[in-house]
Amino acid sequence: MHEKKGYIAEIKSKTGVNVNRCYQCGKCSAGCAVAEEMDYPPSRVMRLLQTNDVENFNQLLGSESIWLCVSCQNCLTRCPMEIDIPHLMDFMREKAIKEKKVIKKANHILSFHRAFLDSVQYTGRLYEIGLIADYKVRTFNLIQDMDVAPQMFLKGKLPLIPELVEDKKQIQTIFSKTKI
Ligand code: SF4
Ligand code: SF4
């Protein structure tokens, strides 16, 4: 749980980002390909974080923006202060899950993340058919994109047998230390 004030220090210690360095030039939002879809574009996220107000922080944890960010790094490349917004977004996604504040609209994105990680956890690599099946079961969206499956299969993009890494133990160790 947060204190009423004080998450800025937590952000700094977990991500290295000092939100107070942002001077609201807006270059991050201008360069973000998904800013228009976001409820809070990256520069607005920074402004809200600077208030150090727990209500604003919770609002961001329950926002769609943190799930729409695709970690493309465009904002970081453009930022004159080199503020690592993608890392910040990762931190907030993790926090939103832990504090059960994930917005309903983002459930399908979270399902995709989980299906992706399940695939990597069990095979050590991405197993596309496993990923698709896992995602569909999680979202009950069974017929989505079914029309493209035959073409992908014919082009060899959907191998039937998963490729396994040799040392699965190492993968399990990584997941046991990091999965939330
Ligand atoms: S580009 Fe950097 S300094 Fe400018 S608004 Fe975005 S985070 Fe702030
Ligand atoms: S990393 Fe996220 S916030 Fe930054 S430009 Fe890419 S999508 Fe936008």
Residue range 18-47, pLDDT digits in tens: 999 999 999 999 999 999 999 999 999 999
- Beta carbon of 81 within 6 Å of any ligand 1 atom: yes
- With cut-offs at 50, 70 and 90, classify the pLDDT of residue 2: very low
- C-alpha dihedral (148, 149, 150, 156), degrees to nearest 10: 110
pLDDT the model gives residue 14: 94
pLDDT the model gives residue 1: 45
pLDDT the model gives residue 48: 97
Residue nearest to atom 6 of ligand 2 (CA): 72
Mean pLDDT, the chain, whole residue set: 90
- Beta carbon of 42 within 6 Å of any ligand 2 atom: yes
Q: How far is the CA of 84 from the centre of ligand 1 (A)?
A: 10
In angstroms, the CA 124 to CA 126 distance is 7
Token pair 């983002």 in the structure block, residue: 106
Residue nearest to atom 2 of ligand 1 (CA): 79
Q: Based on C-alpha coordinates, what's the Rg of the chain?
A: 19
pLDDT the model gives residue 5: 57
Residue nearest to atom 8 of ligand 1 (CA): 22
pLDDT the model gives residue 155: 85
- Beta carbon of 32 within 6 Å of any ligand 2 atom: yes
Q: What angle do CA 130, 106, 108 make, to 5 degrees?
A: 25
Question: Which range (83-87, 159-163, 173-177) has the least confidence?
Answer: 159-163
Residue nearest to atom 1 of ligand 1 (CA): 79
Report whether pLDDT(73) > 90. yes
pLDDT the model gives residue 142: 77
Q: How far is the CA of 29 from the centre of ligand 2 (A)?
A: 8
Percent above pLDDT 90 for the chain: 58
Smallest Cα–Cα separation from 114: which of 90, 87, 89, 138? 138
Report whether pLDDT(128) > 50. yes
pLDDT the model gives residue 81: 97
Summarised one tens digit per residue, pLDDT across range 45-65 is 999 999 999 999 999 999 999
- With cut-offs at 50, 70 and 90, classify the pLDDT of residue 15: very high
pLDDT the model gives residue 139: 85
Output the six-digit token pair for 81: 């202060």
- Beta carbon of 19 within 6 Å of any ligand 2 atom: no
The number of helix segments (H) and strand segments (E) in the chain equals 11, 0
Output the six-digit token pair for 45: 């996220």
In angstroms, the CA 123 to CA 130 distance is 10
- Beta carbon of 114 within 6 Å of any ligand 1 atom: no
